[in-house]
Amino acid sequence: MSVATARVGSNIAFIKYWGVADASLNIPLSNSISMTLADAHTTTTVAWDDTGTLDTDVFVLDGVRQSAARSQRLTRHLDILRGLAGVTWRAWVTSQNNFPTASGIASSASGFAALTVAGCAALGLELDNTRLSAIARRSSGSASRSLFGGFVEWEQGTSDTDSVAVPLHGPEHWDLRDVVAIVSSEEKKLSSAGGHLLAKSSPLLDGRIAHVDGWLAETRQAIAEREIHRLGPVIELDALAMHSVMMTSTPSLLYWQPGTLEILQAVRRWREEESLAVYFTIDAGPNVHLICEAETAAVVETRLTSLPSVERVIVSRPGPGPQLLDEHLI
């Protein structure tokens, strides 16, 4: 078998991706900006069966072999890689997340990015990160951003070739922390991929999209100048706008749990009463990401652990781009 293993960081979107302009190519309705994470990552081994022994692709996630129904999206992505290499080989894929899967911490971003990098490497395809970003985007839009480290912008584009992520600043640019409050480790009932298709049914979508360009500009500038008090308000505003679109789609998506709201209220209280420089953002799930600078992270983590709704806290620095590993999971 031809084997390769990749480790790829998840990412937290400061300005979100929600809704698609072209579902077949996964081209978004707007640009988005994120920070790649060092301490929340996926490790994936892809072994291509060039002997013809396997009659179907095999996927093992966090030690559990996945059913054919749960593997369809992954198989479609491997079909893209097979097409690029001109082969019909099946693959054995083993993947591990060091954080809860499908719970709003962008496991599909790191997962499909790692699948793309390892799968292409095992096939001997020598592709740069921009091309890999375009390939990963086909199955998970957010995965396009995990192909680069540090602070990254996914450009909307108009085609399969120009809807790609570009690096803004490396991970050393700003010593931020993403302090993730886990209120539920359970897999969400509707995936982000399904949710994107509902976005256009919301009467609030157009309002959010009309403001995104301004929020993107503000976020770029805040990151460039390393201004947490400039970054924080805009990422909170966009997160609330995105969830407003979710809540008003048909059917309505309500990812929040009581613990989600408890954390949002606590963060505002810490800022207003104690001037603690911490801000929230939320992906498609109930868990809350608190963004702060390194010197504030320990205080934020301690306060989160005291809240009754918080099961676990994950703290991550800005991380590197994909890494190929010598040790395999198979």
> For residue range 128-177, what is the model confidence (pLDDT) as tens digits?
999 999 999 999 999 999 999 999 999 999 999 999 999 999 999 999 99
**Overall domain count for the chain:** 2
| Same domain? 196 vs 141 | no
* DSSP per-residue string spanning 4-40: EEEEEEEEEEEE----EEETTTTEESS-EEEEEEEEE
- Mean of the pLDDT values across residues 54-82? 95
Structure confidence at residue 148 (pLDDT): 98
Kindly state the average pLDDT of the residues 40-46. Answer: 97
Range of the domain at 65: 2-173
Q: How far from 315 is each of 113, 235, 289, 300, CA to CA, in Å?
A: 21, 18, 9, 10
Average of per-residue pLDDT values in the chain = 96
Q: How far apart are CA 178 and CA 186, in angstroms?
A: 20
Asked if residue 322 is part of any domain, the answer here is: no
Say if 327 falls within a structural domain.
no
| Rounded percentage of the chain residues whose pLDDT exceeds 90 | 93
Asked if the structure places residue 11 within a domain, the reply is yes
Same domain, 251 and 157: no
Give the CATH number, domain containing residue 225. 3.30.70.890
| Residue 91 covered by a domain | yes
Residue 105 pLDDT greater than 90, yes or no: no
- Tell me the per-residue pLDDT of 235-290, one tens digit each, with 9 for 90 and over: 999 999 999 999 999 999 999 999 999 999 999 999 999 999 999 999 999 999 99
Q: Looking at residue 279, what is its pLDDT?
A: 98
Residue where a domain stops, chosen among 141, 173, 205 = 173
Q: Is 92 or 103 the better-scoring residue by pLDDT?
A: 92
The contacts of residue 53 (CB under 8 Å, 6+ apart) are none
Residue 133 within any structural domain of the chain? yes
258 preceded by cis ω (within 30°)?
A: no
Q: What are the helix and strand counts (H, E) for the chain?
A: 8, 14
pLDDT at residue 10 is higher than 90: yes
Task: Provide the residue type at 150 as one letter.
Answer: G
pLDDT tens-place string over residues 177-235: 999 999 998 887 777 888 999 999 999 999 999 999 999 999 999 999 999 999 999 99
Of the pLDDT bands very low, low, confident and very high (cuts 50, 70, 90), residue 120 is: very high
- Looking at the structure, tell me whether residues 45 and 165 fall in a common domain: yes
Mean pLDDT, residues 68-94: 96
